[in-house]
Amino acid sequence: MTDAADLNVHDAVVALQAGDVSALELVDACLSRIESEGGQSINAFIHVAAEQARDAAKDSDKRRVSGQHRSHLDGVPIAIKDNIDVQGQPTTNGQAQAWYPHQDAPVITRLREAGMVILGKLNMHEGALGATTDNPHHGRCEHPFYPGFTPGGSSGGSAAVVAGGLCPAALGTDTMGSVRLPAAYCGIVGLKPTRGFWPIDGVAPLARGLDTVGPMAKTVQDVAMLVDVDVGDHDLTGQRVGVLVYDNIEVEPECERALARALDLLSGKGVQFDTVAFSNFDTGSARRAGFVVCQVDAAQSLEEFRKAQPQAYSPEFQAMLDYGKGVSPERYQTAREIIATAGQEFLNLLSGYDVLLSLTAPQRTFPFSDETPRSQADLTAIANFSGCPAITLPLPVEDGGRPVGLQLMSGLDTDRLLIQVASQIERMLAEN
């Protein structure tokens, strides 16, 4: 068998069930990869809970031997973005402070109840308010394949550990695209479920009503297993599929070409598309409104922490919080209305389709030395504004090309359908 650390979620489940690998062997393989020179160079882990993970793996192995395993995921390792509370492990929210929660966030409780093994906490953009994971306190998280390039953010560490083969799965959070953008930049799959699909209690808040917890893994099938969805063999015949067109977003030519090739491949396999223009959506105005909401809400939620430990915040982050604190109630309400209106209009548009497709980001991963594109979240934020589920999966790219993500979105509470359609599209694209 190949190195156990290279197993994805599905293959790890199969290997555990067949007795080809134990949970302890799987965890030790991941820990060895994390501690290797290559693993260290990515700088994705803020905290590695090695002994706790080994103990949990031993318990999983005992359950499996006795026939008492908790779920198909029992013994599978997962790593957690460092704004989600894990009992006994520090939470920093990407800042120069740490607290030790007395209980797990409810989403962590669900993972433990399924028997998953938590390896540790992951690097992120400070306060989850940014999209490069160039963290001033914990160090820059590197792209696993392109040193000096961003893995995206704010859940950059979560994408980097999966893509880099340090862990088969990770949790991130997504407020305007922070699961899907790093997943797209790193060439993996990331899901932002319907708002409320997983509880956000025990997650350091950023923006009220926009924050969502989402999983990342190597394939759609992996993500489906993490959220307990049977992908089956979904037939796309008769599905109403639209391709979103935005006239006001500058897109890298490589991204345009990857999307065009993918649509040609899918069309050749019988998938029919409508071209859909979301003409009432000004991506720039909506993005700016979303950031205003994030800065105001973050300033309010972190006010007491900031008073107690101002040194825990970088000057850049302090400036964003100060900006948010200075926004007038009237401007904040206007920003809320802008994103609420955009979200409702998008739900109205979605009602005519089973799935809408777009690029996940209008650009690929870029060097840290480059200016951060303002348009990063232009294609992802609308799913947060509307609350609808969205998933990104990697598109086939030219040899040596940096990853490009394909985003699928569907109506509220249609997560199962979305994942099934994404799985079928993933299979179709892989056949060529």
Catalytic member of 60, 154, 158, 375:
154
The three-state DSSP-derived secondary structure of 245-297 is: ECCCCCCCHHHHHHHHHHHHHHHHCCCCEEEEECCCCCHHHHHHHHHHHHHHH
Instruction: Name the helix (H) or strand (E) containing 118.
Output: strand 117-122
- How crowded is the C-beta side of 284, counted as CA atoms within 13 Å? 6
Residue 154 annotated as catalytic:
yes
H runs (alpha helix) in 312-414:
315-326, 329-350, 381-386
From the list 103, 5, 17, 102, the residue with the least C-alpha distance to 64 is 17
Cα separation of 357 and 299, whole Å? 34
381: burial class by Cβ within 10 Å (0-12, 13-18, 19+)?
A: buried
Structure tokens at 173: 């959070």
Instruction: Name the helix (H) or strand (E) containing 225.
Output: helix 220-226
Catalytic member of 22, 60, 155, 178:
178
In eight-state DSSP terms, residue 188 is: S
Cα separation of 420 and 233, whole Å? 8
Give the catalytic positions in this structure.
81, 154, 178
